[in-house]
Chains A and B, each alone.
Chain A
Amino acid sequence: MELTGAQVLLESLRREEVEVIFGYPGGATIDIYNEMSKYPFKHVMTRHEQAAVHAADGYARASGKAGVCLVTSGPGATNTVTGIATAYMDSIPIVVFTGQVPTCLIGNDAFQEADIVGITRPCVKHNFLVKDVKDLALTIKQAFYIARTGRPGPVLVDLPKDVMQAKIEYEYPGEIHMRSYSPHYEPNARQIGKVIDLLRFTRRPLLFVGGGVIGSNASEELIWLAKNLHIPVIGTLMGLGSFPGNEPLWFGMVGMHGTYAANMAINNADLLLAVGVRFDDRVTGKLSSFAEKAKIVHIDIDPTSIRKNVSVEVPMVCDCRRALKALRSEIDAAGEPVNWEEKHGDWIGKIQAWQKSQPMSYEINGSTYIKPQMVIESIYELTKGRAIIATEVGQNQMWAAQFYKYHKPRTLLTSGGLGTMGYGFPAAIGAQFAFPSSLVIDIAGDGSIQMNIQELATAVSYELPVKIVILNNGHLGMVRQWQELFYNRNYCSTCLHKNPDFVALAKAYGAEGYRIEKRENVKDVLKQAFATKRPAIIDVLVEPEENVYPMVPAGASLTDMLLV
């Protein structure tokens, strides 16, 4: 069957079982768009290429499938960079197809030409420039294979216009093998044995879980291990949802804005089972005092994560799910006479005491403003932890992490590594396409939401019931908080006094708009807004100078927390 390059691309996407493409057309991709209607997938046109990538990313995080994005050359391609870097930092499988000028013009500074392969090289797992239509099918196969396997990540494929027009006899490869890329999944039996030994002889074990648990779909195994061996669990921002947030063994997020109990636990544990984490600086605080009493077991699919920041007792380069599964089989097989509940009882009691002495809380007296934390708690109560929550970045993100309990993996979509403002709303749009009947809520700030607010047009066009809750404090709250605490209240460029009227703005786009100004109305209005089938902005006027606590100042030890 002879196909054009454009047809090869779309036919290959069909064979990769792609359901949705997020994109934005342009001169270099017209040939592809010209064929689009003949194929079964949905093309979602966003209003900015950055949003197309975030939407593909949100789709991938929520569904576990690879997200796909298609944009044109030049500015279309360069607009994807932030989205790609976001996915790269959080190990999210997406494949980004960019149009390119015809091969004969590459390097000539042609109209809408950008060296996107060069530009994105440091922030992709891999990228390709397809110079010949005969390489196209294999390249697409490799792109999906690389994006989905090992430590997942973004892959970019640059498609010159003449390659899209050229014809070729089509054949799509089945299984592929790459001599220079073969991820290692299986845990090493000897290392598993060492972990079992450590579990037997330590008294204060702690499961410390991250995005790798979610990426490898290891929640079931994690829950088994924690519950059967009575091991308390704490998580990174990226790990929220991997263990049910409403279970008694869960002690919350660790790190700069982690819970008191989690931060105390990590620095008092004698065994740290770190699963799918990479010991980011926001998590460890001062490295020299991080988990200093603990032997560390580090399970991660990526060898570079191991010994990058902390030295570990037992390194295990493998898939997190398989590692936890292997631990489970070993423990089952040994028929251990250990009474884990008794062995770890004192330790759990100690963490519970920390939790009780400093629970997640906030000051509600002395002000009549709505407290942002209150809003998140109300969202949790109304949704019973069943919504998909996307966040922007800053205070809104931290409160969403602290005050919402994530019951299931893939229900929190947040830019953890790169910290991309403007991520949440397009990510929520992507997630809504993966789960059309779920309630998807973007928790936003009045600063962040304005970074991709044009996507209201997308949400309205596709009649998506996405909800945006703006915690409107009139500031870039997190930077303002740092200025307040560490820069002598020099609020330079962090006050947003001329914000638009978000309710009117929502209405102008054809969405619904709500405003909440009084505490007593929070729940009722949220309930009403969540019930509508249309996209809606809920603009909540909150305490202007509320801070996120606990807070570990940058570079301090985890136990040096500023508390409420």
Chain B
Amino acid sequence: MRHVLSILVENEPGVLSRVAGLFSGRGFNIESLNVAPTLEKEVSRMTICTTGEEQIIEQIIKQLRKLITVIKVVDLTHLQAVEREMVLIKVGAEDSKRAEILRIADIFRCKVIDVAASELTLEIIGDQGKIRAIINLLQRFGIKEIARTGTGALRRSMQFED
């Protein structure tokens, strides 16, 4: 099962390689990882998407907590959380296809951020379902390049009983 882990780490050299090394050394999966400073300049937030059985996820979380530079680990999977990823997609857009691509972009509330004679670059922000859907739709026009940020996520302020 896919889990989204939100991790606060000391913002110091080597912290990313400690976390990444833990995953590779112990054979854990990383689907995506992103990291950037928080408002507190000594602290960064990492968001890691990973997959595995419950016992593996439990190990991953414990192993992360054991790293000296890791301050806090929260598994957002069993909490109500918001998650988003931003994707830049460069898609082939000859005259005959352009209108259709722009229509799709409009439906998905994408922004066109670069235009050339035969290509368009779109910016898409959404959860994994939306991103999968638009990639799927644009594939037939020929996706030339793609850049993804990986998931960023936060726990919702209000948690409701299911």
Residues of chain A whose beta carbon lies under 8 Å from any beta carbon of chain B: 117-118, 121-122, 125-126, 129, 146, 178-181, 302-304, 306-308, 311
Contact = CB atoms under 8 A, between A and B. Distances in A.
B2 interface: no
A304 B17 contact: no
Contacts of A121: 14, 17-18, 21
A302 B71 CA distance: 16
Contacts of A302: 66
B123 interface: no
Nearest to B18: A121
A102 B119 CA distance: 50
B125 to A, nearest CB: 31
Nearest to A123: B25
B1 interface: no
A304 B14 contact: no
Contacts of A126: 68-69
B68 A304 contact: no
B5 to A, nearest CB: 15
Report, nearest first, the 9 A-B pairs whose CB atoms are least far apart: A126-B68, A304-B62, A180-B71, A303-B62, A122-B25, A181-B68, A304-B63, A121-B21, A304-B66
17 contacts: A118-B14, A121-B17, A121-B18, A121-B21, A126-B68, A126-B69, A129-B14, A178-B68, A180-B9, A180-B10, A180-B68, A180-B69, A180-B70, A302-B66, A303-B66, A307-B58, A307-B59
Contact of B17 (A118, A180, A303): A118
Interface residues of B, number: 19
A126 to B, nearest CB: 4
Interface in B7-34: 9-10, 13-14, 17-18, 21, 25
B25 A304 contact: no
B55 interface: yes
Given A126-B68, A307-B58, 11 more contacts: A117-B14, A118-B14, A125-B68, A126-B69, A129-B13, A180-B69, A180-B70, A180-B71, A307-B55, A307-B59, A311-B55
What is the interface of chain A mostly: helix, strand, loop, or mixed?
mixed
A449 to B, nearest CB: 31
B65 interface: yes
A121 B10 CA distance: 16
A303 B71 CA distance: 16
Contacts, number: 38
A19 B145 CA distance: 61
Contacts of B62: 303-304, 306
A122 B21 contact: yes
A302 B58 CA distance: 13
A303 B68 contact: no
A117 B68 CA distance: 14
A181 B69 CA distance: 8
Contact of B65 (A117, A146, A179, A303): A303
A98 B25 CA distance: 24
Contacts of B9: 180
Contacts of A308: 59
Contacts of A304: 59, 62-63, 66
Nearest to A181: B68
Nearest to B8: A180
Contacts of A181: 68
Contacts of A129: 13-14
Contact of B68 (A122, A146, A306, A311): A146
A450 B53 CA distance: 45
A226 B54 CA distance: 35
Nearest to B60: A304
B99 to A, nearest CB: 52
Given A303-B62, A304-B63, A307-B55, A179 B71 contact: yes
A538 to B, nearest CB: 41
Nearest to A151: B66
A333 B21 CA distance: 48
Nearest to A117: B14
A306 B59 CA distance: 9
Contacts of A178: 68
Contacts of B25: 122
A422 to B, nearest CB: 24
A120 to B, nearest CB: 11
Contacts of B63: 304
Nearest to A118: B17
A388 B59 CA distance: 37
Nearest to A302: B66
Q: Which of B9, B14, B21, B63 has the most CB of A within 10 A?
A: B14
Nearest to B26: A122
Contacts of B55: 307, 311
Contacts of A125: 68
A154 to B, nearest CB: 13
A166 B119 CA distance: 57
A103 to B, nearest CB: 12
A121 B69 CA distance: 12
A128 to B, nearest CB: 9
B151 to A, nearest CB: 23
Contacts of A146: 68
Interface in B43-92: 55, 58-59, 62-63, 65-66, 68-71
B70 to A, nearest CB: 6
Contacts of B65: 303
